[in-house]
Amino acid sequence: MHQKTRAGNQEAGWLLFFYTVPARPVGNRMRIWRKLARIGAIQLKGAVYLLPDDEENRELLQWLVTEAAALGGEAGFAPTARVFPFADQDLHELFTHERIREYAEIARAVDIFGRRLASVRKGSRPPARGTLRQQFQKIRNDFQAVRKIDFFGAQPGRALEKRLVALEPEVLGLTDKVGQARQTPVGSLARLAVKDFQGCTWATRPHPFVDRMASAWLIRRFIDPQARFAFLPEEGLAAAKGDILSFDVSHGDFTHGEDLCTFEVLVLRFGLNDPSLQRLGEIIHDLDLKDAKFGHPETTGVETVLAGIRGQAKGDQEILDQGMVIFDALRASCVPAAPARKRRRS
């Protein structure tokens, strides 16, 4: 893994950030403080904070200036070559001290997790499938967040990274064993013909989110272009008859099974072979089942966008409509690039 560091660049300078926001509500002041901590700033005095000067940090501070103004306050930042009475090395050590403290917290979490793994190896009752992976993924995410702001490459970060790299194969191996006994062979799901499912009404629960949004997109784009969607409570879906097909609900026509989310079940049962659907299905799987099985880097960003749609849309159908646009774009990004054609020599 590449370690972001500025230790070799002594002349890049510094950014001083200062802000003030109204004392009430208190949450606004904490909001700015938390964001400064998240981007790795250290507090020099009062409301004056320090960051190494680079393009990324300038852009982050520009956003914070805008946010402070929106909260009724004021903020600004200034580049400077020196911060008297500190030498550059003194400032490096201030940043490194904070990162060492944060790495130590993560190392303690790794110690606890390691003892849990050892207990499972010795035959103690294993946790539910996915739990160990979720715990390990959280530790790894916490580490990556600190590493990103470890501007001067603290030694404990490198040691901790080696521990995580060594743990990962064992975590994956143990969690695979935990779930083996409960898995049903994938081939047990009956294949269906797309032509038999045209012009149907597809029903699911209200307030759709990740798997239901993605499944609706899959139905409309690959299975039933004229599909109509309905939103009913669980009890209403159980009583639904006729041409209504239920998806992503308990005991529905199409729902979770065999350690698969509904999106994956639809792809499998209808034999959809579009190459873009595999990676897209893996992203949906991780978001819906939360087992960190695939760990694609874009997964968290997809969830953030879908949460934004769900939060601003005026109704369930609008959630699906806006989701269609997002999943069209995601599919395009998942299509393997065509090999470049060789030019003929004239």
CATH, residue 54: 3.30.70.240
Taking the C-alpha atoms of residue 265 and residue 215, their distance in angstroms, rounded to an integer, is 9
pLDDT digits (tens, 9 = 90+) for 172-215: 776 554 443 334 444 556 689 999 899 999 999 999 999 999 99
Query: For residue 335, what pLDDT band results from cuts at 50, 70 and 90?
Result: confident
Structural domain contains residue 343: no
pLDDT, residue 180, reads 39
Alpha-carbon distance of 203 to 236, in angstroms, equals: 10
SS3 at position 252: coil
Question: In this structure, are residues 328 and 316 in contact, taking their beta carbons and an 8 Å threshold?
Answer: no
User: Pick from 70, 85, 100: which residue ends a domain?
Assistant: 85
pLDDT digits (tens, 9 = 90+) for 249-293: 877 889 887 678 999 999 999 999 888 899 999 999 988 887 778
Helices (H) and strands (E) counted in the chain, each on its own, are 11, 7
Same domain, 94 and 162: yes
> What is the average pLDDT across 22-43?
89
Quick one: pLDDT at residue 201?
A: 93
Percent of the chain with pLDDT over 70: 84
For residues 170 and 176, give the distance between their C-alpha atoms in angstroms, rounded to a whole number.
10
pLDDT at 126: 52
Same domain? For 97 and 80 the reply is no
Q: Which two tokens stand for residue 265?
A: 């079940």
Taking only the tens place, the pLDDT of each residue in 93-118 is 999 999 999 999 999 999 999 888 87
Say if pTM beats, i.e. exceeds, 0.75. no
How many domains are there within the chain? Answer: 3
In a shared domain, residues 40 and 70: yes
Name the H helices within the chain: 26-38, 55-70, 88-121, 131-148, 155-180, 210-218, 234-239, 262-269, 276-289, 299-312, 316-334
Residues 199 and 145 in one domain: no
What are residue 282's phi and psi, to 5 degrees? -65, -40
Q: How much is the pLDDT for 125?
A: 52
Which residue range(s) make up the domain with 327?
Answer: 188-334
Percent of the chain residues topping a pLDDT of 90: 51
Do 297 and 220 sit in the same domain of this protein? yes
Token code pair at residue 116 = 């849990």
Region of 199 (left: φ > 0; alpha: ψ -120 to 50; beta: rest) is left
Residue 105 lies in a domain: yes
- Residues 225-233, mean pLDDT to the nearest whole number: 93
134 and 42 assigned to the same domain: no
C-beta atoms surrounding 242 within 10 Å: 7
What is the mean predicted confidence (pLDDT) over 65-69? 90
Q: Does 214 lie in the same domain as 298?
A: yes
Q: Is residue 142 part of a domain?
A: yes
> Of 125, 145, 180, which residue constitutes the final position of a domain?
180
Question: How far is 239 from 237, CA to CA, in rounded Å?
Answer: 5
Does residue 341 lie within any of the structural domains? Answer: no
Lowest mean pLDDT: which of 5-9, 50-54, 130-134, 148-152?
5-9
Structural domain includes residue 323: yes
* Per-residue confidence (pLDDT) for residue 179, from 0 to 100: 41
Among residues 161, 180, 199, which one ends one of the domains?
180
> Could you give the CA distance from residue 333 to residue 277 in angstroms, rounded to a whole number?
11
Angle CA 182–260–210, to nearest 5: 140
Using DSSP's 3-state secondary structure scheme, residue 202 falls into strand
Rounded to an integer, what distance in angstroms lies between the CA atom of residue 135 and that of residue 126?
A: 14
Q: Which residue is associated with the tokens 């160990």?
A: 132
Residues 209, 100: Cα–Cα separation, whole Å: 39
pLDDT bucket at 121, cuts 50 / 70 / 90? low
Range of lowest pLDDT (26-40, 145-159, 309-323): 26-40
For 173, other C-beta atoms within 10 Å of its C-beta total: 10
Q: Are residues 115 and 204 in the same domain?
A: no
165 within a domain of the structure (yes/no): yes
261 and 312 co-located in one domain: yes
> Is 340 among the domain residues?
no
Amino acid at 56: E
Q: Flag whether 346 is in a domain.
A: no
Q: Is 89 helix (H, G, I), strand (E, B) or coil?
A: helix
pLDDT, averaged across the chain: 84
Residue 129 clears pLDDT 60, i.e. is over it: no
Q: Are residues 165 and 291 part of one domain?
A: no
Q: Give whole-number Cα distances, 162 to 140, 156, 166, 168, in Å.
A: 12, 10, 6, 10
Note whether 49 and 103 are same-domain residues.
no
Evaluate whether 197 touches 224 at the Cβ level (below 8 Å): yes
- Shared domain check, 226 and 260: yes
